[in-house]
Structure 1
Amino acid sequence: MDTPSDVRAPLPRPRGLRHNLRWAMVGLCSLAFVFNYLDRTVLSVSLPYIGEDIHIPASVEGLLLGAFFVGYALCQLPAGALIDRFGVRRLFAGGALIWGGVTAATGLVRTPAELVIARLGLGVGEAVAYPGSAKVVSRWFPRRERALANSIWDNGSRIGAVLSLPLVTALIAAFGWRWAFAVAGFLAVAWVVLWVRAYREPREHPRLSAEELAYIEAGGARLEDAPAEGASAAPRVRWRSLFRYRTVWGMMLGFFALNYVIFFFITWFPSYLVRDRGFDLLQLGVYGMIPGIVAIGGSLAGGITSDALLRRGWSLNRARKTCLTGGLLFSSVIAAAVFVPTAGMALALLSVSYASVAFAAASVASLPADVAPQPEQVSSLAGIQNCASNIAGFLGPSVTGLMLQLSGGSFVGPLVLSGAIAVVGALSYGLLIKRVEPLPVHPVKEATA
């Protein structure tokens, strides 16, 4: 078994509520994602009512829904680099203020052009959430708890997606669509107040016990250390040099494939149930939630399994790759859903697929902290891989729509393609990434690691 050089002999896990502050920190990140996804999806729920007020052409509706991903994907790269440079506390707060303020201001729009600008701004603000949360976990958690911690904040997005439909619908019914945006934006701003008051770096937090800090440090948390007296500082890996590592390209391609499958469930899944399986509105509302709920359990299972394998003595490389490749390979059963005879069987296969891809996602979120050459690149790597993954956010739904148009509405091609892409993602993690371990710093090795 290989032992990473930055992990000291593990200490016993400290017991008691006062020695578990790290879980409160990741809970803050999870809550941010609940509000993040609420603000992201309020437009989708409100769009029919907005169209009645400001007369949005059908051709513009697709642009509105896609504009978010343009701002979000492009800003992942600078967001990660800025968090690494200026700190997660300030950048996360600033991004949440932007996305909360933009969401609230969306309730004031009068034209479709203003709505497009607002969606772009929302994507810019929300770009800090993923690399910021990955940074928090890298600093606050030992390696053997990292995957579970990442699954907790990642599940905030799924909880937000589940809650958004009933909550936003109730707000629209009671106060109108403009107030729905105002309330959603206010929740994000309120989170900023809580974040600024509660979050500090581990070595600066006044409520962190000495026992918990020692446990975090000994377990391999990615905390920057000043060079010893008389020693020269280690050479720095520049941001653009990260793209010279083969491992980074494996992370980008693998996460693209993972998100390609996920975005089928976010975008076209309800249409598939209605068009191909004959679900009515009531059936869609009841049964359509099943894959998303199962995926929450799949994500937690992925985090627990990856961390448990480490505690049982598996190497980091073996534990992470097993969960990544296994989860993506199982998610390829999405391709079989169009061939089974009953809607119940199709729903079961789709639930397995969504849960499996969520199972892998916990380890995906852990990779930036696992492989960053130095702690200063964790958020940069998180932003890079998330940028690649969100290209699937607008490419995947567009390709599915084109294939439906060319095939006369058949979902066979889109789901088989999604299953094939899941297999490609598994191969990317299994073969392109040689080892899950901190990448070498020396420039001479950067091109092949």
Structure 2
Amino acid sequence: MSEATTSIGAAAPVAKVGMYRWRICAMLLLATTINYIDRQVLGVLAPFLQTEIGWNEIEYGYIVTAFQAAYAIGLLCAGAIIDRLGTRVGYAIAISIWSLAAMSHSLAASVIGFAAARFVLGFGEAGNFPAAIKTVAEWFPRKERALATGIFNSGSNIGAIVAPMMVPVVAATWGWQAAFLVTGALSAAWLVAWLLIYRTPEDQPRLSAGELAYIRSDPPEPTVRVPWSRILRHRQAWAFVAAKFITDPIWWFFLFWLPKFLHAEYGLTLLGLGLPLIVIFVLADVGSIFGGWLAGRFIKMGWSVNRARKTAMGICGLAVVPIVFAANADNLWLAVGLIGLATAGHQGWSANVFTLTSDMFPRRAVASVVGIGGFAGAVGGMMIATFTGFLLQTTGSYVPVFLMAGSAYLIALLVVHLLAPRLEPAQLDGAGA
């Protein structure tokens, strides 16, 4: 523990330092919630739109792949852009693009039209996580980052809960086009609030001196931007990239195919999808916060960051394994329980995987590392989208995908451990950098 941390801890306990940083975390939570509402609208409406527009499983796979392709391209660019422009401007640009793209779905009337709208949406939404992770690195000391990440990352589950609650009702009342217009408008409203409220800690007049000192209690870091070529020389970067590439496709499958799975296997109508999806993503929400809390709890018990992070990741990975039985479950709620446990495991895993970046890289490189890893995850998502489309068109069986989901996380943890056995910080400025 540094002298700065010791003196702050002695003079001003965390509870008395101030709580403004958690308001920023709440903004990130809301942005991530809206982000997932916007992307989830198509998944919720997919069984209905498949009949309305007339696409088959392969064409739906291509529509999802269009989103993933743009998301991959956007992530490759977003991290570096946000590191260069800063979180306030970078986040604003990203959400402006995805807000307009979300509303543009209402104009689509063909497979090509939906694919084009999804492509632009994916490009804009790619900025969310690099910006949010960088904001956490700017606003929170290292020991609170996993919890803050878990909290804002839970917005992905809240969005996935709100979407099946809201979208079917809006679509049934005013038409499916209205669902895209309403959710896109939420993004625009958040943008206005962000521009009015957000400043960096040093420029935020509402932040107390004590809380600023607490936020900056970690040892100081250089501020020079780090190019990708230097980042990718380090095994720590490849550990994060591998974790995202192997496990992100499973989450994409959950988002875009669960409504279709429940509709196909259990005959659920558009309005009937709501409750099962809500239960699944409530469990995912609990898993996200629990996963971040668990690693922090282990660290407070005196465990090393390496042991705490990987133990939490292992526990979350094990929670996904029982999903291998979901495809053959003869009861709807048994399937929902198995899938909900898996989504909880994924989100707890994800909270810790995102935090690996701030464990191993300085703040000035975090958004770039997240962007590179997110690119890898989106490429994996493209692959599983196309594979699932062809699989379902030819066999109609979800079994192979659930088998992949059950094994992916433990394989990814092994790869992370082999590449970063001690989670040592990358020496970006050392002789070997």
Structure 2 equivalent of residue 293 of structure 1: 282
Does the 8 A contact of 1:251 with 1:429 survive in 2?
Answer: yes
Q: Structure 1 residues 6, 174: closer, same or farther in 2, change over 3 A?
A: farther
Cα distance between partner residues in 2 of 1:73 and 1:371: 23
Q: Partner letter of residue 372 of structure 2?
A: I
Structure 1 equivalent of residue 383 of structure 2: 395
Structure 1 equivalent of residue 401 of structure 2: 414
Confirm whether residue 250 of structure 1 aligns to residue 239 of structure 2: yes
The secondary structure found in structure 2 opposite 1:139 is helix
After TM superposition, the structure 1 stretch with the greater mean CA deviation from structure 2, 352-361 or 236-245, is 236-245
Does the 8 A contact of 1:142 with 1:219 survive in 2?
Answer: yes
Cα distance between partner residues in 1 of 2:356 and 2:19: 23
Q: Structure 1 residues 180, 342: closer, same or farther in 2, change over 3 A?
A: closer
State the 1:99 CA deviation: 0.9
Structure 2 equivalent of residue 187 of structure 1: 186
Cα distance between partner residues in 2 of 1:48 and 1:354: 21
After TM superposition, the structure 1 stretch with the greater mean CA deviation from structure 2, 198-207 or 109-118, is 109-118
TM-score, normalising length from structure 2?
A: 0.88
Question: Structure 1: which 5+ runs fail to align?
Answer: 227-233
The superposition leaves residues 359-415 of structure 1 with CA deviations (integer Å, 9 ceiling, x where unpaired) of: 11111121222211x321110001111111122322224334444556x43433332
The superposition leaves residues 265-320 of structure 1 with CA deviations (integer Å, 9 ceiling, x where unpaired) of: 223334444555x4644875433432221111111111111112222222222221
Does the 8 A contact of 1:35 with 1:187 survive in 2?
Answer: yes
> Cα RMSD between the aligned structures?
2.9
Confirm whether residue 67 of structure 1 aligns to residue 66 of structure 2: yes
Q: Partner letter of residue 394 of structure 1?
A: M
Q: Partner letter of residue 190 of structure 1?
A: A
Structure 1 equivalent of residue 82 of structure 2: 83
Structure 2 equivalent of residue 429 of structure 1: 416
Cα distance between partner residues in 1 of 2:290 and 2:67: 30
State the 1:194 CA deviation: 0.4
Confirm whether residue 307 of structure 1 aligns to residue 306 of structure 2: no
Structure 2 equivalent of residue 368 of structure 1: 357
Structure 1 equivalent of residue 121 of structure 2: 122
Structure 2 equivalent of residue 229 of structure 1: none
Which of 350, 361, 376 is residue 339 of structure 2 equivalent to? 350
State the 1:203 CA deviation: 1.1
| Greater helix proportion | 2
Listed as ranges, the matches of 1:131-142 within 5 Å are: 131-142=130-141
Q: Partner letter of residue 130 of structure 1?
A: F
After TM superposition, the structure 1 stretch with the greater mean CA deviation from structure 2, 340-349 or 121-130, is 340-349
Structure 1 equivalent of residue 425 of structure 2: 438
Confirm whether residue 217 of structure 1 aligns to residue 216 of structure 2: yes
The secondary structure found in structure 2 opposite 1:183 is helix
Percent identical residues: 33
Structure 1 equivalent of residue 155 of structure 2: 156
Cα distance between partner residues in 2 of 1:271 and 1:207: 47
Q: Partner letter of residue 26 of structure 1?
A: C
Q: Structure 1 residues 193, 352: closer, same or farther in 2, change over 3 A?
A: same
The secondary structure found in structure 1 opposite 2:216 is helix
Cα distance between partner residues in 1 of 2:334 and 2:173: 38
Q: Partner letter of residue 392 of structure 1?
A: G
Aligned length: 428
Structure 2 equivalent of residue 26 of structure 1: 25
Q: Partner letter of residue 294 of structure 1?
A: L
Cα distance between partner residues in 2 of 1:264 and 1:57: 18
Q: Structure 1 residues 86, 102: closer, same or farther in 2, change over 3 A?
A: same
TM-score, normalising length from structure 1?
A: 0.85
Does the 8 A contact of 2:323 with 2:342 survive in 1?
Answer: yes
Confirm whether residue 386 of structure 1 aligns to residue 374 of structure 2: yes
